[in-house]
Amino acid sequence: MNTSDVKYIEYGSIDSTNSEARRLIQSGELKPPAVLTAKAQTAGRGRQGRSFYSPADTGIYMSVVTELPKDANDIQLLTVRVSLAVYDAIYDVTGIKTGIKWVNDLYVESKKVCGILAETLYCAAIDKVAAIIGIGINISTKDFPNELSDKAGSLGISGDNIDVLKVDLAQKTAEYVLNMEMKYHDAHGLIETYKSRSIVIGKRISYEKNGAPIEGTAVGIDETGALIVKIKDGFDYLQSGEISLKNW
């Protein structure tokens, strides 16, 4: 992708970069490719209707707006591609190896350091569906609210160079996500790489299905990005949703 085509918008504080991208697309003021970043969010959103804690200056809060690929299979693999792109950006800029918790949460030592919220909507300006890929990376956040303190963590980076690092990491993340179709083109290689970075394969997990709790062992990821779970009487294939690890 030609980087000069990308529109960059920076905010001091905003409710949510994903919500703002949605509003701007709906009003016809924004079309892909675009990147919105904020120093702080007052109503950061996470998956499953949760909020995303986004205090000022301690993390990266950004939305990358891109056209959805035409191929339906690729749409299912979007979240897999995004998690690899963000993993690579974090590793290339900081040297920190994260682990991917299916579908696309990034962890360091059993604490979530990055969440990804991918949303889609029709963009009249290009007569196509756009993806709004929201990415929140905790860089130096320490004082999480009580309900998050045993689950959320940060990359633990501090020091004089933190502002430069944040700019580098935001740029690299945007670049990798905007180019993810090319960078992670081969579907087979993509899944193999994803599996090698997964922290759930081989682990006991639990999840809910039709309101009932289920336990099983995560044994693989299929070519569509679904999590393959060995359960009591066979295999389950999870296309989306939330899983919990029984032990780390």
Q: Which residues bind to ligand BTN, rule: CB under 6 A?
A: 16-18, 41, 44-47, 50, 52, 54, 61-63, 115-117, 134-136
For the chain, the straight-line distance linking the first and the last C-alpha, in angstroms and rounded, comes to 39
How far apart are CB 46 and ligand BTN at their closest, in Å?
A: 3
Beta pairing partners, 235: 230
Q: What is the DSSP secondary structure assignment for residue 147, as one 8-state letter?
A: G
CB closer to ligand BTN, 55 vs 134: 134
CB closer to ligand BTN, 103 vs 123: 103
How far apart are CB 175 and ligand BTN at their closest, in Å?
A: 17
How far apart are CB 15 and ligand BTN at their closest, in Å?
A: 8
Distances (CA, A) of 34 to 37, 138, 154, 171: 10, 22, 26, 12
Give the residue nearest to ligand BTN (CB).
115
How far apart are CB 178 and ligand BTN at their closest, in Å?
A: 16
d(CA 34, CA 77): 21
Q: What is the DSSP secondary structure assignment for residue 2, as one 8-state letter?
A: -
CB closer to ligand BTN, 23 vs 230: 23
Closest CA to 136 of 24, 55, 227, 245: 55
CB closer to ligand BTN, 143 vs 186: 143
CB closer to ligand BTN, 39 vs 77: 39
Helix, strand, or coil (residue 83): helix
Summary count for the chain: helices (H), strands (E): 6, 12
